Structure 1
Amino acid sequence: MAASNAHENSIYPSLLPDESDNRDPYGINKHLQLNFFNVIAEPDTSAYNFAVLHEVSEKVYQYSKLGIYRLLAVLIGLPLMLCWGIIFGAYTFFMIWIVAPSRRLSQSLIAECGIHIQTISDAVVAPLYRSFGQVFSSVRINLLNQTVETTKTIQV
């Protein structure tokens, strides 16, 4: 069977993808493990199909899945890629030419305002609070615990 499979792939090299051709190097679509043995699994010999039928089923599944995928990729995928290219191109343009400079300008303005606020605080607020601290530093509070006795009177 291995010889016929190698012979088959050499005759029709584009029908099945090459296993070494990794088109998802970052594992974005790991959840899409949809090969035949991840979808159809016969757990033990009591649920086994005929060997020939199992092989034919696998080929029908692989080629129909690949054919439908490729057909939809051409009919729908290419227009979608145009839309996604436009969207991500515009997003990249706005991030590079508008958002990043605006963010940098904001950071610069905030830093500059912080310098002025720090200067005003050092010149006005800090001496004011130091003065309040000196004024109230001589205040002493003594708390005494006294019991106050009262008598209840009834008015008639």
Structure 2
Amino acid sequence: MMSDEYLVECKIDDDDDDDDYGVQKIQPSPPPPPQFSSSPSITPQPSLIHVDIRDPCGVNKHLKVEFSDVLAEPASTHSYDRVWIYSGIAFEAMRLWCYRCLTALCAVPVSCLCGCLFALLACMHIWCVMPCIQVCHTCLPCVRSLWMSVVNIFIAPFCTSAARCCSGIHVLFSKE
């Protein structure tokens, strides 16, 4: 069964759009998507104001760990009910408070390191990698014609003569 989040509401208008003279009304077309529009659009940046939505792109969906994902007792062996309940409470509390303590100690330095790393990667990509690729694309036709000349002058005659020498060799298989 499909959940409601995948359902789309479509408005269907069965009325005729013809006016009294038999001419249809032309409706304005919707604006193009932002990536196809000619006017520059600024993509909204995540803001620090909304602290409730901390993973809007769903990067860490795999980290939603609960007590039942880690610990489970089969039907044949059960501990006391209170032990099971207190174990679940202790698991959740330790997971929450250890995460809070570790993020209090590590979040700012790690985010600074990640920011520096991504800035370095962006700088290297913009100022080193892309210019090298553009130089290669620019020089590639010259290099291609030079390489074709080398192949036609040196390698092709050698391969042709080796093929002619080997063309007279015949191999026969016989059972003795």
* TM-score (normalised: structure 2): 0.48
C-alpha distance in 2, partners of 1:95/1:60? 47
Secondary structure of 2:110's counterpart equals helix
Q: Give the Å deviation of 1:104.
A: 1.6
1:40–1:46 CA distance, 2 compared to 1 (3 A):
same
Question: Is residue 2:126 matched to residue 1:92?
Answer: no
Aligned to 1:103: 133
2:143 to 91, 101, 113: 113
- When the two chains are superposed, the root-mean-square deviation of aligned CA atoms in Å is 3.6
- Paired residue for 2:32? none
Query: Which stretches in structure 1 are left out of the alignment for 5+ residues?
Result: 1-17, 142-156
Aligned to 2:80: 49
Deviation at 1:34, TM superposition (A): 3.7
Structure 2 runs not aligned, ≥5 long: 1-51, 169-176
Instruction: Find the aligned partners of 1:62 and 1:47 in 2 and give their Cα distance.
Output: 20
What corresponds to 1:79 in structure 2? 109
In structure 1, the residue matched to 2:89 is 59
Q: Which runs of 4+ in 1 moved over 4 A?
A: 20-24
Supply the AA of the counterpart residue of 1:47.
Answer: H
Q: Does 1:25 align with 2:55?
A: no
Give the drift of 1:26: 4.3
Would the alpha carbon gap of residues 77 and 58 (structure 1) be closer, same or farther in structure 2, given more than 3 Å must change? same
**1:25 aligned partner, one-letter code:** G
The structure carrying a bigger helix percent of its residues is 1
Secondary structure at 2:77 match in 1: helix
CA distance in 1, matches of 2:80, 2:131: 64
Q: Distance in 1 between matches of 2:133 and 2:56?
A: 35
SS at match of 1:43: coil
1:117-136 to structure 2, matched below 5 A, reads 117-118=147-148, 120=149, 125=153
CA 22–86 in structure 1, closer or farther in 2 if over 3 Å, else same = closer
Greater relative CO (CA pairs within 8 A, separation 6+): 1
1:55 positional shift = 2.4
- Paired residue type of 2:78: A
**Cα-to-partner distance string for 1:95-137 (whole Å, 9 max, x where unaligned):** 112111112212321222223554x57xx84xx96xx99xx9x
Which structure would you say has the larger Rg? 1
State the identity %: 19
- CA 24–37 in structure 1, closer or farther in 2 if over 3 Å, else same: farther
| Alignment match, 1:35 | 66
